[in-house]
Amino acid sequence: MNSSAAPPKSLPSSTTIAQAKHGQLALKHRKEGIFEIAEDQGWVKAQWFKLHLRPKSYNTQQITSEIPPLPPGKTVVAVISDYLKYMLHCAELYVKDTHVNGPEFWRSMEGEIDYVLSHPNGWEGAQQDQMRKAAIMAGLISDNPAGHARISFVTEGEASLHFSIQNGLPTGAMTTGDGVVMVDAGGGTVDISAYGRTSAGSDRDTVFEEIAPPQCHFHGSIFVTIHAGVFVRSFLRESSFQEDIEHILSCFDKTTKPRFRNKDEPQYIKFGSTRDNDPACNIRFGQLKLDGSDVARFFEPSVKCVVNGVLEQRRQAHRPISHVVLVGGFAASDWLFAKVQEALRPYSLNVVRPENHVNKAVSDGAISFYLDHFVNTRVSKMTYGNFCHIPFLENDPEHRTRFQNAFLSFGGQRRIKDSFDIILAKNVQVSETKEFKRPYFRELERKSDFKKALFEVWAYRGLIPQPRWRDLDTQNYTQICTIEIDLSKLALQQKKNGPKVFYRLDYEIVLLFGLTEFKAQIAYKDNGVEKRSEAKVIYDDS
């Protein structure tokens, strides 16, 4: 996760704070003797904590055992809040120290700063909601509509595109509209997205559209280290250096892994002094010697993930793919880049890396997203819909097999429940302004029951092209959110079914999927005129 902050668009130097993270501030606060201080004061190291925020709908249970746990008594929201608070403190010091009249400049804008929070492609509304709560806890924004409006979210894939547009996207992607796959290979996740420039874009008006469902895979660089850890623990199980394994892996992570280029040459992890030796375990003069082929195997799952992900994007894309751009810290690995390039060469794909600081792609791209906003169309990565009841059809065999789900409505009509009403199918291009409307009605006996209603939005993640029923492939339906609707202003219709009186309310749910954050409204008629009000979107923290 990257956090970027920008002053209001009318103010200068909008990238200053974002760049502070990757500049001197990151080093300035790495005090000498910090490890001794941490040990003396009983600090608990929190690392890779972003992965604890991951959607539980992903089949990633094994990750829980592979990543370090959160500090005792801390939730992932609390840890992210502490991180954001620290980053804001660093940015404040940087601005005050480096700008003319820095303290006065900071005071003039600190209440108006807009924040851009990036996240992996696989994060959804629930994760964005938790990130917003962390920002509120950290004091970045206030917990009200005005404060919420100062937070923007962008996927790491889209941020990477913005970075590449500014730092050398392949010529064909910029001039002739060739499809391009962005691969953001980071520490925890590999995020893969595909884009194409639209015909509406001119030299002065750069406009891109997403052209395939974005992907998110848990095969970032930390998993190379995890695979190395499994190997090293087994290799050194009889060695006297078992207690040094965590330090050995730390050295592998910082030196051996990023420098690895040739599987035919032995690789060395320098972790100790010349007095550290165990020839039986290939340890000499403080170095652990590994076969290059073993190190290559640590990378293999990540390489396969990138290659297969790119080919899947190519298969699903709404236009031909010609280029692949690798960014992110993991993309700096020459081995990863060379193996991906080699595997994709038979498909005539041009695989490149921008020359400028690929590890800054997301943070710099997030600022470009805020200022330039090059993408106006996105692709649905799931099928979205709602479970509802529909008229029961005697001649429909699917209805007859579900007769136990049939019931009589207040109006005397036989209906059947648990039908999945598709609002937006998977792999559909959606513009930012595109609205998805669905008419619904509610029938109840008492007027007083029409104060509010809850509308659930569900996603289907399985392989059925047109999912229709809750009882088919049930495990692939997950609830995305609940929309709370204020019904108090809507006009009711009084109805009769024989002597029985009931009330009916007709309304439409309006959903906007094309933004980087999910939005909902309710539409209704008042004397024949359509009116709207915002609906509250509620996410389940669990």
Which tens digits make up the pLDDT trace of 298-343? 999 999 999 999 999 999 999 999 999 999 999 999 999 999 999 9
Mean pLDDT of the chain: 89
Q: What is the DSSP pairing of strand 375-379 with strand 429-431?
A: antiparallel
| Spatial CB neighbours of 503, under 8 Å, sequence gap ≥ 6 | 443, 444, 445, 446, 447, 450, 492, 493, 494, 495
Which one-letter amino acid corresponds to residue 468?
Answer: R
Output the pLDDT for position 454: 87
pLDDT for 202 beyond 60: no
408 burial (CB, 10 Å; 0-12 / 13-18 / 19+) is exposed
Nearest to 220 by CA among 325, 326, 114, 319: 326
Give the other-Cβ count within 10 Å of 55's Cβ. Answer: 16
Chain centroid offset of residue 494 CA: 46
- Which one-letter DSSP state was computed for residue 359? G
CA 363 to CA 166: how far, in whole Å?
13
- Give mean pLDDT, residues 454-481: 94
Output the pLDDT for position 9: 42
Output the pLDDT for position 3: 63
pLDDT for 27 beyond 50: no
Question: In this prediction, what percent of the chain has a pLDDT beyond 70?
Answer: 92
Give the other-Cβ count within 10 Å of 542's Cβ. Answer: 5
Output the pLDDT for position 441: 86
Output the pLDDT for position 485: 86
Tell me which of 182-196, 199-213, 378-392 is least confident. Answer: 199-213
Q: What is the pLDDT of residues 85-124, one digit of tens each?
A: 999 999 999 999 999 899 999 999 988 999 999 999 999 9
Tell me which of 223-237, 245-259, 377-391, 502-516 is least confident. Answer: 502-516
Confidence of residue 80 (pLDDT cuts 50, 70, 90): very high
Chain centroid offset of residue 534 CA: 25
Give yes or no for a contact between 535 and 484, defined as CB atoms under 8 angstroms apart.
Answer: yes
- Which one-letter DSSP state was computed for residue 278? B
Strands (E) located in 136-237: 151-155, 179-185, 190-197, 208-210, 215-217
pLDDT for 471 beyond 90: yes
352 burial (CB, 10 Å; 0-12 / 13-18 / 19+) is middle
CA 363 to CA 325: how far, in whole Å?
17
Structure token pair of residue 541: 């923290």
pLDDT for 127 beyond 90: yes
Output the pLDDT for position 24: 34
Output the pLDDT for position 5: 61
- Give mean pLDDT, residues 480-487: 89
Output the pLDDT for position 102: 92
- Which one-letter DSSP state was computed for residue 297? H
pLDDT for 20 beyond 60: no
Tell me which of 30-34, 160-164, 233-237, 307-311 is least confident. Answer: 30-34
Burial 392-402 (b: 16+ CB within 10 A, else e): beeeeeebeeb
User: 20-29, 48-57, 265-274 — which one is most confidently predicted on average?
Assistant: 265-274
Output the pLDDT for position 204: 58
Output the pLDDT for position 526: 79
Rounded to a whole number of angstroms, the CA Rg of the chain reads 27
CA 205 to CA 151: how far, in whole Å?
25
Q: What are phi and psi of 44, to 5 degrees?
A: -115, 125
Output the pLDDT for position 22: 35
Q: Coil, strand, or helix at residue 490?
A: coil
Q: How many helices (H) and strands (E) does the chain have?
A: 17, 25
Output the pLDDT for position 6: 55
Nearest to 235 by CA among 302, 289, 301: 289
pLDDT for 380 beyond 60: yes
| Spatial CB neighbours of 103, under 8 Å, sequence gap ≥ 6 | 96
Record the pTM.
0.88
pLDDT for 365 beyond 50: yes
Nearest to 193 by CA among 137, 220, 155, 222: 155
Give yes or no for a contact between 142 and 136, defined as CB atoms under 8 angstroms apart.
Answer: yes
Of 470 and 455, more confident: 470
- Which one-letter DSSP state was computed for residue 448? G
520, 533, 538 from 437: Cα distances, Å: 10, 14, 19
CA 463 to CA 472: how far, in whole Å?
11
Output the pLDDT for position 357: 73
Q: What is the pLDDT of residues 407-436, one digit of tens each?
A: 999 889 999 999 999 999 999 999 999 999
pLDDT for 8 beyond 70: no
Give the other-Cβ count within 10 Å of 111's Cβ. Answer: 9
Confidence of residue 359 (pLDDT cuts 50, 70, 90): confident
Give yes or no for a contact between 213 and 193, defined as CB atoms under 8 angstroms apart.
Answer: no
- Tokens 């109840």 appear where? 444
Nearest to 429 by CA among 194, 85, 152, 126: 194
Nearest to 216 by CA among 330, 119, 147: 119
